Copies of this chain bind each other. A is one copy, B any other.
Amino acid sequence: MKWNELHSDACPVARGLSVIGDRWTMLVVRECFLGIRRFDAMQSRLGITRHVLADRLRTLEADGVLRREAYQDRPVRYEYRLTDRGKALYPILVSLIDWANAHVPLEGESAVTLLSRSTNQPIAPMLIDRNTGEDITTRTVRAVMNEPVPPQDG
């Protein structure tokens, strides 16, 4: 199977990754969340090749995660902004930051910390179920597949 065929896979993990699971893609999204909107700024900050950046921006736009907007004419130049679909990636990004800060240590402290705007203290992200208020863990939640699949447990 080829990577590109995942887009129509039955599993949402596969479909999600077909959009954001490519090398560099989530880093481009990170730039957008940080307010970086322009090609050259992204390129020099990320150290990605222009070639690949152009491809990622095109793909993210096609998938409705970013939208391209002219910010000047003569010559016309475009910048990239998150759509609502793109903004909805925030929980993934926050969970990733939290995981990496805890589990992919770097000498010295982490260069990005998330602070609560109300307390100015670092946040401790936690996933809960809006319906029940319960913490979401492998013990409180189970995955059901519409097609049957072998046993489970982590």
Using a CB–CB cutoff of 8 Å, the interface residues on chain A facing chain B are 1, 3, 5, 7-24, 26-27, 30, 32-36, 41, 44-48, 63-64, 81-82, 85, 87-104, 106, 109-119, 121, 123-132, 134, 136-147, 149-154
Contact = CB atoms under 8 A, between A and B. Distances in A.
Tell me the number of copies of this protein. Answer: 2
A134 B147 contact: no
Given A129-B125, A141-B114, A150-B36, A15 B87 contact: no
A82 B82 CA distance: 33
A26 B17 contact: yes
A35 to B, nearest CB: 4
A107 B102 CA distance: 38
